[in-house]
């Protein structure tokens, strides 16, 4: 039986729409997922289409947006690509990789996307919804919209906002960010642009990121309710959250929560940065300050630097060379510098990168083979097929411990026999997952394909203690506080704050 015929049997979905991108939809869904879990419900997150290079790999090897994976953790369930059936990964120049149900199926320009992918996209969304309900008949979907639901030039081909809301007859919440200003115009303008049958689906409004005395907005709340005939179900205060931003541009706005750090970390802000959630465990270390490096500079003030993942490795390596950052990194390595490259960052630390199938950004340049930074004797060739899988391994350096994470990359990396004089050792028992080299003057150069490496508490603590030792700082013994517990604490705190200010009773009938 088709899902449409069974909609009267399922628990009413809750959908969170926003007046704009960045209004707080993702965190609102995360909070509601945990609130409902605590109430004994079976929430499942869903976002029909997401555009993000911050990805996760599920246990079947399927790619999905990290934000939906985090929402699944808030529900107490394993993430699955069905929760984010369409993932678009921007590659620059208005081109995106298209991923359906976790598998890469092509690339598209923005101009041609809806002409070529709209119909199959809607079919894969319906297929995912049907599969979720068949496997979880008692669940309640908590659905996240994307951007604004009333982009009038796109609304006729919008896959993930009002089309999903109408298909499921969902109870919708409209979230707006008062920090941006113009909150009344955001709300009224969004509702006025909806068709009557769409507006009827909006059952509540949330005012997000309110600073100051909530009582001062009481008149504003009454005005909104009188004007719209829709209740304001929550005014959420400004929260100091530690979640990763959805968009890489928002990284530059993230401020460290800690004011007295003992270790300073510099992360290279690559133009095509991906998987920046890799650094959440470091963001939550009270002794660590993270700064983002955007331009050439003396890197000696940093205790270690990180080259993150990249969606366009060739393009980003050319950026490093042209900006002078490659030379800065080489100079830093000569002066007891500690460097970690993750995925694309690992590839860039090698000697050569070759892109015969134009998979990693070389199509826009005259070279399909370029030099890497040259600090590790590794060469990488990008092939047509991407590797995505969960990883369970064991580390050899800087400690022996079990390692969990995931791979998500194009490219095969092997030792460069022409650079055998550069001493290099494996980090893991699986020899192709990472390597390290110790500098003559101290410090280390490390490269790994494992995303989530810093979530492994023993590995992270041993590496940080190597840095602390080089600074003559006492050894840190915090193994009892694991990152997964910290993440749970953050989600619980987020849910509690929302629960304090949000009235969901009318949505749970």
The tens digit of pLDDT for each residue in 8-45 reads 678 999 999 999 998 999 999 999 999 999 999 999 99
The torsion angles phi and psi of 25, rounded to 5 degrees, stand at -60, -45
Domain spanning 12-238, CATH architecture: 3-Layer(aba) Sandwich (3.40)
Instruction: Pick 246 or 404 by higher pLDDT.
Output: 404
pLDDT of residue 249: 47
Spatial contact of 317 and 364, defined as CB atoms under 8 Å apart: no
Sequence-distant (≥ 6) Cβ neighbours of residue 222 within 8 angstroms? none
Q: What is the mean pLDDT of residues 117-126?
A: 96
343: exposed, middle or buried (Cβ count in 10 Å: 0-12, 13-18, 19+): buried
Residue-wise pLDDT for 86-97, tens only, equals: 999 998 888 999
Q: At a CB cut-off of 8 Å and minimum separation 6, what does 411 contact?
A: 313, 347, 353, 359, 360, 380, 381, 382, 383
Q: Which residue has the higher pLDDT, 479 or 450?
A: 450
Q: Using H for helix, E for strand and C for coil, what is the string for 181-228?
A: CCHHHHHHHHHHCCCHHHHCCEEEEEEEEECCCHHHHHHHHHHHHHHH
The structure tokens listed for 57 are 């790999």
| C-alpha neighbours within 13 Å on the C-beta side of residue 169 | 10
Residues forming CATH 3.40.50.300 domain(s) in the chain: 12-238
Are 161 and 190 a contacting pair, CB within 8 Å?
Answer: no
Helices (H), 269-416: 280-283, 313-323, 325-334, 344-349
pLDDT value at residue 422 = 64
Residue range 443-451: average pLDDT?
A: 97
3 state SS of 312: coil
Structure token digits, residue 354: 């070759």
Q: What is the mean pLDDT of residues 466-475?
A: 91
Residue 299: band (very low, low, confident or very high) from pLDDT cuts 50, 70, 90: very high
Q: What is the pLDDT of residue 243?
A: 61
Tokens at 68, concatenated: 């939906």
Q: Please write the tens of the pLDDT for every residue from 136-185.
A: 999 999 999 999 999 988 888 899 999 999 999 999 999 999 998 899 99
Work out the burial of residue 261: count CB atoms within 10 Å of its CB; fewer than 13 is exposed, 13-18 middle, 19 or more buried. middle
Res 154: pLDDT: 84
Whether residue 330 is predicted with pLDDT greater than 90 in this model: the reply is yes
Residues with Cβ within 8 Å of 197's Cβ and at least 6 positions away in sequence, in order, are: 166
User: Which pLDDT score, from 0 to 100, does residue 12 have?
Assistant: 95
**Is-contact 233 225, C-beta < 8 A?**
no
Higher pLDDT, 238 or 309: 309
> Is the C-alpha dihedral spanning 175, 179, 182, 183 positive or negative?
positive
Alpha helices in 235-360 (DSSP H): 280-283, 313-323, 325-334, 344-349
Average pLDDT, the chain: 91
Banded pLDDT at 1 (limits 50, 70, 90) = very low
In angstroms, rounded to a whole number, what is the distance separating the alpha carbons of residues 45 and 84? 9
Contact at 8 Å (CB) between 201 and 170?
A: yes
Q: Would you say residue 253 has pLDDT above 60?
A: no
Residues 6+ apart with CB under 8 A from 118: 157, 159
Structure tokens at 369: 């083979």
pLDDT of residue 8: 67
Residue 235 pLDDT level (bands cut at 50, 70, 90): very high
CA 199 to chain centre: 31
Residue 213 CB neighbours (<10 A): 8
Q: What is the pLDDT of residue 482?
A: 83
Which of the two residues, 489 and 365, has the higher pLDDT score?
Answer: 489
| Span(s) in the chain for CATH 3.40.50.880 | 248-486
pTM (predicted TM-score): 0.93
> Is there a contact between 58 and 64 (Cβ–Cβ < 8 Å)?
yes
Residues acting as catalytic residues: 343, 451
- What pLDDT score was predicted for residue 372? 97
The C-alpha atoms of residue 325 and residue 307 are separated, in whole angstroms, by: 11
At residue 298, does pLDDT exceed 80? Answer: yes
For 180-212, letters b (16+ CB in 10 Å) and e give eeebeebbeebbeebeeebbebbbbbbbbbbee
Confidence of residue 226 (pLDDT cuts 50, 70, 90): very high
Token code pair at residue 42:
């079976």
Q: Any idea which of 106-115, 181-190, 221-230, 365-374 has the lowest mean pLDDT?
A: 365-374
Q: How far apart are CA 290 and CA 276, in angstroms?
A: 12
What CATH number has the domain spanning 248-486?
3.40.50.880
Query: Can you tell me which residue has the tokens 């510098």?
Result: 337
């Amino acid at each position: 039986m088709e899902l449409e015929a069974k909609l009267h049997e399922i628990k009413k979905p809750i959908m969170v729409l926003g007046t704009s991108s960045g209004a707080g939809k993702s965190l609102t869904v995360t909070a509601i997922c945990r609130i409902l879990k605590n109430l004994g419900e079976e929430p499942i997150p869903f976002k029909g289409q997401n555009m993000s290079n911050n990805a996760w790999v599920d246990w079947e090897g399927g790619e999905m947006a990290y934000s939906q994976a985090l929402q699944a953790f808030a529900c107490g369930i394993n993430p699955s690509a069905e929760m984010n059936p369409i993932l678009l990964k921007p590659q620059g120049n208005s081109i995106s990789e298209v991923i359906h149900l976790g598998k890469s199926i092509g690339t598209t320009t923005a101009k041609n996307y809806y002409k070529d992918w709209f119909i199959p996209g809607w079919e894969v969304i319906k297929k995912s919804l049907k599969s979720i309900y068949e496997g979880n008949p008692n669940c309640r979907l908590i659905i996240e919209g994307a951007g604004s639901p009333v982009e009038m030039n796109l609304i006729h081909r919008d896959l993930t906002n009002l089309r999903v809301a109408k298909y499921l007859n969902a109870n919708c919440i409209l979230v707006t960010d008062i920090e941006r200003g113009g909150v009344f115009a955001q709300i009224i303008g969004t509702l006025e642009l909806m068709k009557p049958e769409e507006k009827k689906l909006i059952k509540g409004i949330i005012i997000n990121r309110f600073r100051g005395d909530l009582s001062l907005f009481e008149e504003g709340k009454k005005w909104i309710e009188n004007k719209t005939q829709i209740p304001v179900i929550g005014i959420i205060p400004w929260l100091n959250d530690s979640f990763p931003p959805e968009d890489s541009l928002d990284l530059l706005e993230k401020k460290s929560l800690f004011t007295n750090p003992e270790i300073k970390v510099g992360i290279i802000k690559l133009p095509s940065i991906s998987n920046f959630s890799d650094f959440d465990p470091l963001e939550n270390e009270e002794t660590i300050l993270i700064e983002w490096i955007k331009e050439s500079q003396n890197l000696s003030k940093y205790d270690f630097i990180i080259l993150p993942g990249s969606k366009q490795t060739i393009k980003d390596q050319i950026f490093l060379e042209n900006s002078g950052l490659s030379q800065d990194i080489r100079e830093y390595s000569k002066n007891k510098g500690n460097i970690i490259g993750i995925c694309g960052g690992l590839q860039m630390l090698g000697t050569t990168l070759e892109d015969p199938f134009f998979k990693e950004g070389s199509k826009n340049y005259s070279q399909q083979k370029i030099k890497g930074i040259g600090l590790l004797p590794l060469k990488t060739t990008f092939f047509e097929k991407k590797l995505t899988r969960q990883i369970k391994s064991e580390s050899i350096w800087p400690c022996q411990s079990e390692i969990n994470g995931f791979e998500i990359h194009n490219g095969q990396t092997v030792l460069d026999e022409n650079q055998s004089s550069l001493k290099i050792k494996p980090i893991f028992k699986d020899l192709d997952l990472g390597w390290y080299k110790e500098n003559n003057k101290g410090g280390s150069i490390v490269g790994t394909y494992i995303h989530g490496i810093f979530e492994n508490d023993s590995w992270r603590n041993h590496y940080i203690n190597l840095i602390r030792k080089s600074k003559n700082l006492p050894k840190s013994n915090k193994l009892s506080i694991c990152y997964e517990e910290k993440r749970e604490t953050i989600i619980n705190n987020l849910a509690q704050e929302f629960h304090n200010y949000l009235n969901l009773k009318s949505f749970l009938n």
